[in-house]
Amino acid sequence: MRTLLLAAAVVIIATPALADECDHATTQNELNNCAEDNYHVADKNLNDVWTALSDDTRAKYRQEQRDWIAARDNKCKTTAAEAEGGSMYPLLYFGCLTDETRTRTRWLKAHDAPSN
């Protein structure tokens, strides 16, 4: 349980708020909704970066990107598994998705190569 609470605290601190309502979220439902909203923003940013990559870069990393998505989803399910069925599960799951997606977005930006 102590691990779960520590993980939740890290997710809350590591996930920037989307709007004032998330800055003041106090109930578990509000925190869960904000975590999900943060993930959707991060996912949109990832998709925007992917679309903007050069054709060569997309071709080079297409299969790796598909593999990364599956690995990310599995990692986040495992991360949140301790809370499965509980009210904190969405917070932990979407917090992990957000963190992993932001990390991948930065990686893709750093590995883009101009098209010839």
Cα dist. 113→62, 65, 75, 97 in Å?
A: 14, 16, 28, 26
Dihedral class, residue 85 (left if φ above 0, else alpha if ψ from -120 to 50, else beta): left
Per residue in 53-99, pLDDT (tens digit) is: 999 999 999 999 999 999 999 999 999 999 999 999 999 999 999 99
| 59 or 20, which is more confident | 59
- pTM over the 0.75 mark: yes
**Where are the domains positioned within the chain?**
2-9+28-110
Token pair in block for residue 63: 């299969």
Which pLDDT does position 32 carry in this prediction? 96
Backbone angles phi, psi at 24, to 5 degrees: -115, 15
Q: How many CA atoms lie within 13 A of 13 on its CB side?
A: 6
Instruction: Tell me the C-alpha distance between 60 and 57, whole Å.
Output: 5
CATH number for 2-9+28-110 (one of 3.30.379.10, 3.30.230.70, 3.40.50.2300, 1.20.1270.180): it is 1.20.1270.180
